[in-house]
Amino acid sequence: MTPEVRKLGLTAHVSSSLGWFGSVVAFLALAVSGLTSNDPQIVRVAYLAMDMIGWFVIVPLSLASLLTGLVQSLGTPWGLFRHYWVVVKLLITLFATALLLVHMQPVGHLARVVAARTLESGELAGLRLQLVADAGAALVALLAAAALSVYKPRGRTRYGWRKLQDEFGAGQSDG
C-alpha cells in the first residue's frame, strides 16, 4: 500500500472501531435504563432503541472494523499472522462480532415484547440483566483490542519469524 492508502485504511479502521466502542457504550446505557427504570415508557423506548442501534449501528460498525482490520493487516508490514498481538486482536474481533450476532436475538425478542405490550415489573429480569452483562463484556473485549493496538506487545509468531528470516536473507543476497 502507498502511504496515503495506508493512512486512509487506518483512518477507516480507527473510525469504525471507535464507532463500535461508542455505540456499545450507548447500548449499555440503554440496557441499564431498561433494567432499572420503573417508567414503562422508558423501558419500552430503551429496548426498541437497543434493537435499532444494534442492527443499524453496532453490527455494521463491527463488520467494518473487522474488514478494515483485515485490509490493514494484509496491506502493511504488520501482516495478519506475523505478530501475536495482531492474531489475538483478530480473534477478539471475530469472537465479539459472532457473539454480537447471537446477542441480537434476545435484543430483538425484548423489542418485540415491548412493542406489543408493557413489561410488568421484574418481567424478563434475567434476560434484561443479561443484556447489561453482555454489553459490559463487549466493552472489555473492545478495550482489550484497543490496548493491543496501542501497546503492540512483542512476540512474533513462527510464521512471522520465518518471514523475517526470508526478508533478511533476501536482502543479504541482493548485495
Give the tens place of pLDDT for each residue, 103-119.
999 999 999 999 999 98
- Split at pLDDT 50, 70, 90, the class of 175 is very low
8 A C-beta contact, residue 76 and residue 125: no
8 A C-beta contact, residue 52 and residue 33: no
Q: In the chain, pLDDT over 90 holds for what percent of residues?
A: 73
Q: Is the pLDDT of residue 171 over 70?
A: no
Looking at residue 120, the DSSP 8-state letter turns out to be P
Q: What pLDDT, in 10s, does the model give residues 155-168?
A: 888 887 887 787 77
CA angle 148, 152, 153 (to 5 degrees): 100
Radius of gyration of the chain (CA): 21
Mean pLDDT, range 12-22, rounded to an integer: 97
Would you state the cell numbers that stand for residue 6, as one nine-digit string? 495506508
Dihedral through CA 133, CA 105, CA 143, CA 132, nearest 10? -20
Q: Which long-range contacts (CB under 8 A, 24 or more apart) does 19-26 make?
A: 19/57, 19/61, 19/64, 20/58, 20/61, 20/62, 20/64, 20/65, 20/142, 21/139, 21/142, 21/143, 21/146, 23/53, 23/57, 23/58, 23/61, 24/58, 24/135, 24/138, 24/139, 24/142, 25/139, 26/53
Mean pLDDT, range 135-164, rounded to an integer: 89
User: Which residues fall within 8 angstroms of residue 64, CB to CB, at 6 or more apart?
Assistant: 12, 16, 19, 20
8 A C-beta contact, residue 11 and residue 112: no
Of the listed ranges 38-42, 76-80, 135-139, the least confidently predicted one is 76-80
47-71: burial string, b at 16+ Cβ within 10 Å, e else: bbbbbebbeebbbebbbbbbebbeb
Would you state the cell numbers that stand for residue 149, as one nine-digit string? 493496538
pTM: 0.87
Would you state the cell numbers that stand for residue 100, as one nine-digit string? 454480537
**What's the pLDDT score for residue 174?**
46
